[in-house]
Amino acid sequence: MNNLQSRELSLIHDSSYNISTAVYWHGDDNRLIYYSYGNNDNLQAGYYLHDKTISESVEDSLLLAHRSPMGSLEMLNGFDLSPDNRKLLIPNVKATPFEALPPQIIEYDLHSRQSDTLDVNFDLSFVRIGLWLRYSPDGSRILYSNFPFGSFTPTTNDDSEVGIIDMATEKKRVLDVNTLAGGSQRSVQIAPTWSPDGQHIIYGSAPFALHPHGDIGFYSLYILKNVDDPQNYK
């Protein structure tokens, strides 16, 4: 963890915890939630709450046991926490090393301990199995990136689909985030995030299908302004 004000790094857990992603509890810098793929020392795969105010001798709280069928081959568990700290937004990656299936979005209520699968479909395309999710600042929309296997490696099979889902209707709109102009040129997008006012997004993008076919170039950061502008949608 990096304190941007003091520029000090502090270790939460070492690599034996197999942590994928972590998000802060909104309004509380002492608590964060992380996803672990588990390990061979009886650490169960799932979502954990780490509270810095509790003694180091106290284990982190398991909020929800959840094992990705792919394990760490999932590459990234792009979950999020709702602005009111009530719900986990879970990317249910269903692929295995032997079968690729479209991912699902699950909302898990931390209070009622009930889960709900959103009625949103994704195009599996060429092994586009990964899913990164982010609530909008007011919780009314979800920003997503449905990315292919290999997006975090030197080669991949396809570009990624980035869009916005309206929580009231569970309808999605696909954003035009391609950073390469013209024809068949495409780019791969990862980890989009909202601006604080919910008007813009920032995301990583890299050229795709360089020589040889499937190569990924270097990722750069881009800002897509005014996401509600119809011109920004496909």
Burial 122-141 (b: 16+ CB within 10 A, else e): bebbeebbbbbbbbbeeeeb
Residue 184 has pLDDT above 80, yes or no: no
Q: What confidence score (pLDDT) does residue 156 get? A: 86
Residues in contact with 153: Cβ distance below 8 Å, sequence separation at least 6, in sequence order: 216
d(CA 132, CA 109): 19
Q: Give phi and psi for 16, each to the nearest 5.
A: -65, -15
The reply to whether CATH 2.130.10.10 applies to domain 68-232 is yes
> How do strand 186-194 and strand 220-224 relate by DSSP bridges?
unpaired
pLDDT band at 63 (very low <50, low <70, confident <90, very high): very high
d(CA 216, CA 30): 37
Residues in the chain: 234
The answer, yes or no, to whether the previous bond of 148 is cis (omega within 30 of 0) is no
Q: Are 166 and 122 spatial neighbours (Cβ–Cβ below 8 Å)?
A: no
pLDDT band at 97 (very low <50, low <70, confident <90, very high): confident
pLDDT: is 199 or 182 the higher one?
199
Q: CB 86: neighbour CB atoms within 10 A?
A: 14
Sign of the Cα pseudo-torsion (16, 92, 106, 160, in order): positive
Q: What confidence score (pLDDT) does residue 131 get? A: 94
Residue 32 has pLDDT above 80, yes or no: yes
pLDDT: is 124 or 207 the higher one?
207
